[in-house]
Amino acid sequence: MQDLRTIRTRILTAVALLVPAVLLILAGGVARQGLCAIIVALMVHEYYSCFVTRSASRQLVLTGINLLMLAGYLLHGASGFMFGFSLAVMLTFIVFVLLVESRPHQPNFEDTLPAALIGLCYPGMLGTMLLAACRAESALILWLLVTVISTDTFAYFGGSAIGGSKLAARISPNKTISGTLCGLGAGVLASMLYAYFTGIPGHLVSFALFGFIAAVLAVFGDLAESLLKRVYGVKDTGRLLPGHGGILDRLDALLFAAPVLLFFA
């Protein structure tokens, strides 16, 4: 009963999020960019709140530093992104130097500093790549969403139905090899079917290839976040999405798959 209730909650939350997201993607322009920027900001904040510090003020400072990459990209493209990344690295070190020296008994800075620096790449850098991918044509963005969602959904239900050997028992005990294969197959098939029925220019073989790459990266994106949660003893990165956890819990696969869209586009 509890499993059925959880599945129902997950489905209702997913539908409630997907409908407005698709409408904003189709709308394009500032609305789409604004939505993506908000999502990236929420993921970055979740990361720092879960894996780096419990101090609300430090979470905001580190989140603001991380988002310099996103702001730089929006203002000046790739060169602005690189400048923002360089500045974010320096400011992160400066914050920790001041913090450690001002608080002689500051605990665990040896662990929190590496975690803060990792956050500049994941989700910071990948989040900025997601924002860049949102500038592609609406049809291609929806192609990526269909591919990633199909991979994630069929991996979940396929693994639950078939069971069998674990894919990564130490990192994510619930993921199975059978479920992963179901997800990969569904991702490739969904990629091809979407291209066929929407009439996007391009050979179906290309959509099969890029669909497979996106599906594989989606699986590893999910495992990457599971690895972080395993290291830091966190179950979910947030409680914003009933049945799913946080924004980062829901979009971890998309973070890894987004660069495929940039290359494919």
**pLDDT range class, residue 107, cuts 50, 70, 90:** low
Of 62, 246, 206, the closest CA to residue 255 belongs to 246
Task: Report the chain's C-alpha Rg in angstroms.
Answer: 19
- Per-residue confidence band for 66, with pLDDT thresholds at 50, 70 and 90: very high
Chain-centroid distance of CA 163 in Å reads 26
Domain residues for the domain of 127 are: 2-264
Number of domains in the chain: 1
User: Over 70: is that where the pLDDT of 79 sits?
Assistant: yes
Q: pLDDT band for 201, please (50, 70, 90 cuts).
A: confident
| pLDDT over threshold 80, residue 114 | yes
SS3 192: helix
**Least trusted range by pLDDT, from 59-73, 147-161, 196-210, 237-251:** 237-251
At 1, the pLDDT band (50, 70, 90 cuts) reads very low
pLDDT exceeding 90 applies to what percent of the chain?
Answer: 63
Distance CA 228, CA 169 (A): 14
* pLDDT per residue as tens digits for the range 44-55: 999 999 999 889
Cα end-to-end span (Å), the chain: 44
Average pLDDT of span 91-101: 91
Distance, in Å, from the CA atom of 132 to the CA atom of 261, rounded to the nearest integer, reads: 9
pLDDT in tens, 214-261: 999 999 999 999 999 998 888 888 888 877 788 999 899 999 999 998
Distance from C-alpha of 179 to C-alpha of 187, rounded to nearest angstrom = 12
Q: What is the mean pLDDT of the chain?
A: 90
Average pLDDT rounded to a whole number, residues 152-172: 90
Query: Is residue 241 a contact partner of residue 250, using CB atoms and an 8 Å limit?
Result: yes
Average pLDDT for 181-207: 93
For residue 116, give both structure tokens: 């803060």
Q: Which helix (H) or strand (E) holds 63?
A: helix 56-66
Is the model more confident about 104 or about 77? Answer: 77
pLDDT band at residue 3 using 50, 70 and 90 as cut-offs: low
Q: Is the dihedral of CA 86, 89, 91, 97 positive or negative?
A: negative
Q: What is the pLDDT of residue 12?
A: 80
Measured from the Cβ of residue 219, the count of other Cβ atoms closer than 10 Å reads 25
Phi, psi of 172 (to 5 degrees): -140, 90
- What pLDDT was estimated at residue 6? 67
* Pairwise pLDDT comparison (215 vs 136), residue with the higher score: 215
What was the pLDDT predicted at 236? 87
